[in-house]
A and B are shown apart, each in its own frame.
Chain A
Amino acid sequence: MPQLPKEFKSLQPFAPEWALATREARYHKRISSSMEEIKAYYDAVLPQLDAMVEHLNRHSIKNLAAEDKNLLRMAFSAIEISRSVEVWNAPDNVVHGAYPAEKIKVHTLPYEQAL
Chain B
Amino acid sequence: MNKPSENYAGRLSAAYPELGFDPVNIEKVFSPEYFELEREKIFKKVWLRVGRNEDIPNHGDFMVKEFEFANTSVVITRDQNGEVNAFHNVCTHRANRVAYTETGNAPRGFTCRFHGWNFGLDGKLNFVPEAGLFPTLDTRCAGLPPVSVDTWEGWIFVNLDPSPKETLREYLGELADGYPGFFDDKTKVATLTIDAKANWKIFLDAFVETYHFAFVHQLSAAAVITSPDNPYGYMDAARMYDRHRVISARSNPNHTPSPAEAVVGKLGGHQTLAPDLAAAATRQLPPGLNPQGLDDWATDIIVIFPMTNIQPLDGWYVTQNYWPISHNETRWEMTIYMQPAQTASHWMAQEYNTAYIRDVVREDLNNLEMIQQNLEAGILKEMHFGDQEIMIRHSYKVVDDYVKG
Which residues of A does B touch, CB under 8 Å? Answer: 23, 27, 46, 49-50, 53-54, 56-57, 59, 61, 64, 72, 75-76, 78-80, 82-83, 86-88, 93-95, 97-101, 103-107, 109-111
Kindly provide the distance from the CB of A60 to the nearest chain B CB, expressed in whole angstroms: 9
The residue in chain A whose Cβ has the minimal distance to the Cβ of B223 is A87
Q: When the two chains form their complex, are residues B348 and A109 in contact, meaning their CB atoms are under 8 A apart?
A: no
In the complex, what distance in Å separates the CA atom of A93 from the CA atom of B218? 12
CB nearest to A79 among chain B residues: B352
Given contacts A61-B343, A78-B260, contact A101 B267 (CB under 8 A): no
Find the A residue at minimum CB distance from B218.
A95
A61 and B260: CB pair below 8 A?
A: no
Q: Separation in Å of the A65 CB from the closest CB of chain B? A: 12
Q: Are A111 and B260 in contact (CB under 8 A)?
A: no
**Residues of B within 8 Å of A, CB-based: how many?**
42
A109: contacting residue among B193, B343, B350, CB under 8 A: B350
Complex: A109 Cα to B342 Cα, angstroms: 15
Chain B interfacial positions (CB closer than 8 Å to A): 187-194, 216, 218-220, 258-261, 263-264, 267, 341-345, 347-348, 350-352, 354-356, 358-359, 361-367, 370
Most buried by B among A53, A72, A86, A87: A53
User: What are 11 A-B contacts defined by CB distance under 8 Å?
Assistant: A23-B354, A23-B355, A46-B259, A57-B345, A83-B220, A83-B258, A86-B260, A93-B362, A100-B362, A103-B194, A106-B190
Complex CA gap A26/B99 in Å reads 35
Q: Do A82 and B259 touch across chains, with their CB atoms under 8 A apart? A: yes
- A-chain residues with CB within 8 Å of residue B352 when the two chains form the complex: 79
Interface of B is mostly: helix
Looking at the assembled complex, report how far the CB atom of A82 sits from the nearest CB atom of chain B, in whole angstroms. 3
What's the least CB distance linking A21 to chain B, in Å?
Answer: 12
Q: Which of A49, A83, A93, A106 lies in contact with B192, CB distance below 8 A?
A: A106
Q: Is the CB of A109 within 8 A of B354?
A: yes
The answer to whether A87 touches B220 (Cβ under 8 A) is yes
Please name the residue on chain B nearest to A80 by beta carbon.
B355
Q: Which residues of B contact A82 (CB under 8 A)?
A: 258-261
Q: How far is the CA of A98 from the CA of B344 in the complex (A)?
A: 31
B344 engages A99 (CB within 8 Å): no
Could you tell me if A104 and B258 are in contact, using CB atoms closer than 8 angstroms? no
A97–B347 CB distance below 8 A: no
Q: Find the A residue at minimum CB distance from B335.
A: A107
Bound complex: CA of A104 vs CA of B364, how far in Å? 12
Across the interface, A104 reaches (CB within 8 A) one of B187, B194, B218, B219, namely: B194
B50 to chain A, nearest CB (A): 15
Could you say which residues of chain A place their CB within 8 Å of the CB of B190?
106-107, 109
Q: Take A76-B351, A79-B351, A94-B219 as given contacts and tell me if A110 and B194 are in contact as well, using a CB distance cutoff of 8 Å.
A: no
| Distance (whole angstroms) from the CB of A38 to the closest CB of chain B | 13
In the assembled complex, the CB of A2 is this many whole angstroms from the nearest CB of chain B, namely 17
The CA-CA distance from A92 to B363 in the complex, in Å, is 12
The answer to whether B363 touches A95, judged by C-beta atoms less than 8 angstroms apart, is yes
- List of A residues within 8 angstroms of B366 by Cβ: 97-99
- Contact residues in A for B356 (Cβ distance below 8 Å): 83
Complex contact B348–A75 (CB within 8 A): yes
Q: Which 6 A-B pairs have the closest CB atoms?
A: A82-B260, A56-B344, A99-B365, A107-B191, A86-B258, A97-B366
Contact B341 A104, beta carbon cutoff 8 Å:
no
Known contacts A57-B267, A80-B355, A83-B356; is-contact A72 B347 (Cβ 8 Å):
yes
A56 touching B343, Cβ below 8 Å: yes
A53 partner residues in chain B, CB cutoff 8 A: 263, 267, 344-345, 348
* Residues of B with C-beta under 8 A to A23: 351, 354-355
- Shortest distance between the CB of A99 and any CB in chain B (Å): 4
